[in-house]
Amino acid sequence: MLEIQERFDTQGYEQILAIAGDRKVHITEALDGTDAIGYIAYSYETERTVVFDYDDGNDLMLCDGLVRSVMLKSAMKGIETLSFEPLDKSKLLSLYKLKFLTEGSTVCENVDSFLNACEHCKNK
């Protein structure tokens, strides 16, 4: 069964730590049993959450789950903006397809509204 869980150590993610500099990096992994099949690495700032990288194995549904997990955590902290800064800019294509970002943008604003939009669809 697939689970999305925050990881409380950063072993194996040294390259992302180097990119993040002095910012505290959080890692959330998608687990199939005990095997990590994807991850998302991010840092909370005062006004935004910065996503440094993610790996979804080219699975749009997994990408959706990973990003939404970070959106929910950000919204719970009162942070309304996600900024995506992957080194591999081709990763942004999945975010455009899923409508997390508008074409050409790297910033998702109004996270809480985005998460609540699904509630409105359910009633139609």
Tens digit of each residue's pLDDT (9 = 90 or more) over 82-114: 999 999 999 999 999 999 999 999 999 888 777
- What pLDDT score was predicted for residue 119? 52
- What pLDDT score was predicted for residue 111? 85
Task: Provide the domain count of the chain.
Answer: 1
Is the pTM value of this prediction over 0.85? yes
Length of the chain as a residue count = 124
- What pLDDT score was predicted for residue 122? 47
The H or E element containing residue 37 is strand 35-44
Domain that holds residue 104: 2-122
Residues with pLDDT less than 70, the chain: 117-124
Q: Indicate which CATH number applies to the domain containing 96.
A: 3.40.630.30
The H or E element containing residue 51 is strand 49-55
Ramachandran region of residue 74, left (φ > 0), alpha (ψ -120 to 50) or beta? alpha
